[in-house]
Amino acid sequence: MTRCPSCGTQYPDDARFCTKDGTRLIGSTPPAGYQRSTAPHTRNDMAVPITHASLSGKTLEGRYEIVKKIGEGGMSFVYLANDVATREKYAIKVLSAALSQDVNAMARLRREASLGMRLAHPNVCHIIRLGETEDGLVYVVMPYVDGEILADRTNRLGRLTLQDVAGLLRDMAAGLHVAHELKIVHRDLKPENIMICRRHDGTDYAVVMDFGLAKERKAGAELQKLTATGIILGTPEFMSPEQLRGRPLDPRTDVYSLALMTYEMLTGKLPFSGRTQQEMMIARLRSDPVPLRDAMPGLGLEAVERVLQKAMQRDPGDRYQTAPEFATALAAATKADGEERSRLGRFFAR
């Protein structure tokens, strides 16, 4: 069971948000990630046929030495691997047999892989290569990213400081901007797809993960057919209104998702409520978000609230038009609100 850390209400394992107050639920089994698994390194008998779930101890195509399984989901297994020659670490996602035998899914994956290989950036976990073994195992090689998933940090801390949020948003926006310049829209931004890593100097930075639903902004008819519509591909809690309606997407849909994530990082809740997931989706189409100062009373975040309100506009034309524009506006608002609190503090101290 999962539970709401705010009101204590219990929910089934597949529930993600409290329908009473919108708080993210805790206590569920963590989703597959690159740093979460505690699975032991078990070396299988080399005579045993290689399967999707038994790669530990094997060497994939003579190049990638599989160390251990570090995550799994319904459609893939994720392994930590070392390059035999360079000893560099990689994360290798091995697709399930069902997915690798799906002609349409593989066509989409090959197209996405060709795009993902162009996304090399410090704030993006990009696809390095797509491979297939003689045995028919299809796999994706990515840089190994070690850190804490944003969803876990928010659950652990309840909410993040405004300064930390502004810094993480800057990093995410920088990585996304590279993708947007290449005419790629992520379209599945959510806290589970953001890794918070640590630099050598002890500071944190964000890495955008899993461009598995990414698509070219000006997609042709073939790609449109393969990717279907946003209502099918994506995570409902963080979808933009245009994505919920199945309309064409551009970078502004990622800006909207970033705004929802920013709001949740600051408050621990989403800005729209509903008794069911469907009601929460409808609220995004018809209602205004709960003002930030209502969710965080007494902190005087007027400037930050105005920035978030603009980023969460239902009409894409009324939002910030690029991710860096949104991040820059939030950084300026963070500074302005901090200076205002400092000024008021000095005034009342007199």
Residues annotated as part of the active site: 188
3-state secondary structure of 237: helix
Residue 141 backbone class (left: φ over 0; alpha: ψ -120 to 50; beta: rest): beta
- Distance in angstroms (rounded) separating the CA atoms of residues 157 and 39: 26
Dihedral (Cα; 15, 16, 22, 26), 10-degree rounding = 110
Output helix, strand, coil percentages for the chain, rounded to the nearest 5: 40, 20, 45
Nearest in space to 324 (alpha carbons), one of 176, 188, 183: 176
Give one DSSP letter per residue of 143-192, joined into a string.
E---SEEHHHHHHHHSS--HHHHHHHHHHHHHHHHHHHHTTEE-----GG
Q: What does the block give as tokens for 205?
A: 């930075």
Dihedral (Cα; 178, 182, 183, 188), 10-degree rounding = -50
- Cα Rg of the chain, angstroms: 21
Let me know: does 260 contact 243? Beta carbons within 8 Å.
no
DSSP structure class, residue 23: B
Query: CB neighbours (10 Å) of residue 140?
Result: 21
Let me know: does 152 contact 194? Beta carbons within 8 Å.
no
Give, for 283, the enclosing helix (H) or strand (E).
helix 277-286
What separation in angstroms does the CA of 260 have from each of 102, 121, 185, 289, 333?
A: 33, 24, 17, 10, 17
